[in-house]
Structure 1
Amino acid sequence: MVEHLNIPTPAGIFDAIAAGPETGRPVLLLHGFPQSSSTWDHQVDVLGAQGYRAVAPDQRGYSPGVRPDGAANYGMGELVGDVLAMADELGWPVFDLVGHDWGAAVGWWTAADHPDRLRSLTAVSTPHPAALSAAIRTDEDQHARSAYMSEWRNSNTEQRMLDNEGEALRRIFDWKVLPSKVDEYVRRLSEPGAMTAALNWYRAGRAGGRIDKVSVPTMYVWSTEDAAFGSAAAFDTENWVTGPYHFQMVEDVSHWIPDEASELMTSLLLAHLSVR
């Protein structure tokens, strides 16, 4: 049975969903934009039933209790710090980390900078940041795909996305996600300050410094119909992982893998965790 948690940290209180015994192997699942912890409903439920302790938080800006003003408060250092602070509060010295979209980006940086804290990494959709940066510079297709990142930094993006009951925000999902889930995402991001906080992840700019290669056991899941991330960065990601690596390409699925192909995503995750 899925529970609702509050996780207090120095930055504030994170809302989360969780399942499984307190003594189970810990798994932290991070959502992306423009979603919430409920992205992982299916995975949390099944992981919990399999004896894992699965926790999926609403990340910084999405949890009302951690919604600071100003883009500078949404840099990668703060986001990785949130992951470690939540794990500390949960009593997890070592844990498995799973992330989709922005959650995967946070996962890559956490794995690169704090490999001692992770048993494994599962990154969904978003490639290794260095592979993505290289592809944006050298691959015309990826450069075009990534243009939205600059557009979303504009000051009028909040109003444009939320006007007409979130019509533009809903279109992002391209009718690949259940309407009830999209309704929930739109409702959450319509809370006061929530959309600005979510967009501040883009406005905070690139993380400082060069990201290292990842040494922890890693699975990267990429879908062929992903509109945001093309094959150049996806295939190059293996060059940025020095530990055991598994690349899983999913055919005919969009960017929204955990929602659109929830059962497949869960089976891939269970298989990855079972050998680590």
Structure 2
Amino acid sequence: MEFEHVTFDLPHGTFHALQGGDPDGQPTLVLHGFPDHPPTAKPFLAELGRRGRHVVAPWLRGYAPSPTAGPFDFAALTSDVLALIDRWSPGRAVELVGHDWGALITYDACVTAPERIERAVTLAVPHPLTFLSRPRPAQLRRSWYMGLFQLPGSGWMVTARDLALIDRLWRQWSPSLSLDPALQAELHEHLRASMPAPLKYYRAMLRPGMLGATRRLSQPIAVPLLQLHGADDGCILPPQVDDRHRFAAPHALEVVPDVGHFLHIEAPEAIAERIAAWAE
């Protein structure tokens, strides 16, 4: 299935995206995470398209060729997504699928503008308040990179030795995944053009704007939402607490065996099928 490169003129600038699938199908917006971009997920996007979806996957703020200027707080990131929904699917609610930081934006969008989202899927990240409420020692060990990204010069450290740190994170987070060399080279090219903007997402977590997001996210999510987590995720552990009180609409949590953090890239057909089955 072919995907075309499209652009959207939004208040923060011109955002780039991949678009494909069934033009008459369910509008589905797919948001990537760190350190990633839409092309690595093309097989997954194609599987969604084969299941009757019209798919758009944007490069998020901070990721070239979309604007790399900040700010990078939740309100700013979510405003980009809501503006894109208005521009791309006026008058019709979308299915929102988010991975990693895309998942965090998805949670925030669901409480900010539930009327614009028909249903949502988050990949690899628990509800943000669940993640922050009871950090386990095993999770703290996995989150070392978040502290690193607060340091001056971390942008240089990330880009040193041809993004060796980025490759290390991919290996640790999805141990069974071997990214195609051509896709890896394309990802490196875009990340080099983006740095240090993607790291500023993590720095914004410690700024006052995060307090506003915390207040919003304390509201129960009134959008049907499916959470999918890889059992072998080396980045973020699946939630192990009962957080059903955070959801006021149909909600399901599934831990998918034999996949890691980038579960939709490792098993695109299986993850798309789980999403389709849940949405029926």
TM-score (norm 1): 0.90
Q: Distance in 1 between matches of 2:274 and 2:240?
A: 17
Q: 1:145 is matched with which residue: 142, 145, 153? A: 142
Could you tell me which amino acid in structure 2 is paired with residue 165 of structure 1? D
SS in 1 for 2:274: helix
Q: Distance in 2 between matches of 1:25 and 1:92?
A: 13
**2:98 corresponding residue in structure 1:** 99
Q: 1:239 to 1:182 in 2, by over 3 A?
A: farther
Aligned 1:152-231 pairs, distance under 5 A:
152-174=149-171, 176-180=177-181, 181-191=183-193, 194-206=194-206, 207-209=210-212, 210=215, 211=217, 212-231=219-238
Give 5+ residue unaligned stretches, structure 2: none
* Deviation sequence 1:13-51 (CA, Å, 0-9, x none): 111011134332210000000000124312322222333
SS in 2 for 1:142: helix
Give 5+ residue unaligned stretches, structure 1: none
1:271 Cα deviation from its structure 2 partner: 1.6
SS in 1 for 2:235: coil
SS in 2 for 1:74: coil
Could you tell me which amino acid in structure 2 is paired with residue 215 of structure 1? A
Could you tell me which amino acid in structure 2 is paired with residue 183 of structure 1? A
Could you tell me which amino acid in structure 1 is paired with residue 97 of structure 2? V
Q: Distance in 1 between matches of 2:140 and 2:47?
A: 37
1:160 Cα deviation from its structure 2 partner: 1.4
Q: Distance in 2 between matches of 1:61 and 1:171?
A: 21
Paired residues in the alignment total: 266
Q: 1:89 is matched with which residue: 75, 87, 90? A: 87
1:260 Cα deviation from its structure 2 partner: 1.4
Could you tell me which amino acid in structure 2 is paired with residue 127 of structure 1? P
Which shows bigger deviation, 197-206 or 29-38? 197-206
SS in 1 for 2:211: coil
**1:16 corresponding residue in structure 2:** 17
Q: Distance in 2 between matches of 1:55 and 1:97?
A: 10
Which shows bigger deviation, 6-15 or 155-164? 155-164
Aligned 1:48-63 pairs, distance under 5 A:
48-63=49-64
Instruction: Indicate if the aligned counterparts of 2:47 and 2:268 stay in contact, CA closer than 8 A.
Output: no
Instruction: Indicate if the aligned counterparts of 2:233 and 2:259 stay in contact, CA closer than 8 A.
Output: yes
**1:3 corresponding residue in structure 2:** 4
TM-score (norm 2): 0.89
Alpha-carbon RMSD across the aligned residues, in angstroms, is 1.8
Q: Distance in 2 between matches of 1:20 and 1:143?
A: 39
1:119 and 2:121 are equivalent in the alignment? no
Q: Distance in 2 between matches of 1:237 and 1:219?
A: 13
1:237 Cα deviation from its structure 2 partner: 4.3
Q: 1:49 to 1:92 in 2, by over 3 A?
A: farther
Q: 1:78 is matched with which residue: 76, 80, 86? A: 76
Q: Distance in 1 between matches of 2:114 and 2:87?
A: 19
Q: 1:234 to 1:126 in 2, by over 3 A?
A: farther
How much identity, in percent, do the aligned residues show? 29
Could you tell me which amino acid in structure 1 is paired with residue 132 of structure 2? S
Q: Distance in 2 between matches of 1:32 and 1:177?
A: 18
SS in 2 for 1:267: helix
